[in-house]
Amino acid sequence: MGGPFSNYLGSYTYGSPLRSSREEGTSATEVAHLIIAFLVLTFDFVLLYGGLAVYDLGTELVLIGVAATAALTGFVAHEMAHKVSAQRRGYWAEFRLSVVGLLVSVVTAAFGFLFAAPGATEIGGDPTNDEMGQISLAGPATNFVFAMVFLAGSFLAAAVSDGAFLSALLLFLAYISAWFAAFNMIPLGPLDGRKVLRWSGAVWAGCFVVFAAVAGVLFYIVNYASLPTL
């Protein structure tokens, strides 16, 4: 698939401003914010890995499909994992987009790398450090599960005749998911890793080492292996 894989940088943040409501469910506002952020991030991936080149219709559709899948599994699933984890503990939780973050993502993608902070899942109530750590881990852990599923699919596709191209696409999706997982476990600023570390140093260390190791291996394969391209 073309594109500067080595320049990929994802910064998916998680916020927890307190609110008094413990209402569960999904509001129309949250759905609208998720759809907008999803569409912008899909465009970011298309811009980053497809640029402004003019391909044939089939190639364009493949590129858009892969970009949408990356945004769906890397971003939407990540935020919904936070939401579900918080709601299971009795807290109000909804995603809210960041206009500035989305604009920055488009600008950086246009320059050949991606720095995206599309918004955050807001948590209401007063969760403990343990609860916050567990809620925070849900996002990167979901990304890692997707990475493993895509990687397994890539191996299966590679074993099938004429499956090399599909294998390369799945490997790329595994790479994106793995880097979402690893990057968000960095224990700095608003990233999930800081809250996980506050909850349990052992859990944070184990997850960070595994997530980063898999992300590093996939980075090497995607950037230096001879893979089919669009």
DSSP assignments along 4-37, one per residue: -GGGB-----------S----S--HHHHHHHHHH
Whole-number pLDDT of residue 52? 55
Contact call for residues 36 and 106 (beta carbons, < 8 A) = no
Q: What is the three-class DSSP state of 114? A: strand
Whole-number pLDDT of residue 60? 82
Whole-number pLDDT of residue 53? 59
Residue 141: name the closest of 35, 90, 214, 65 by CA: 214
Regions in the chain scoring below 50 on pLDDT:
1-22
Whole-number pLDDT of residue 50? 74
Q: Structural domain boundaries of the chain? A: 8-224
Distances (CA, A) of 85 to 54, 77, 81, 156, 210: 42, 12, 6, 32, 22
Whole-number pLDDT of residue 18? 41
User: Percentage of the chain surpassing pLDDT 70?
Assistant: 85
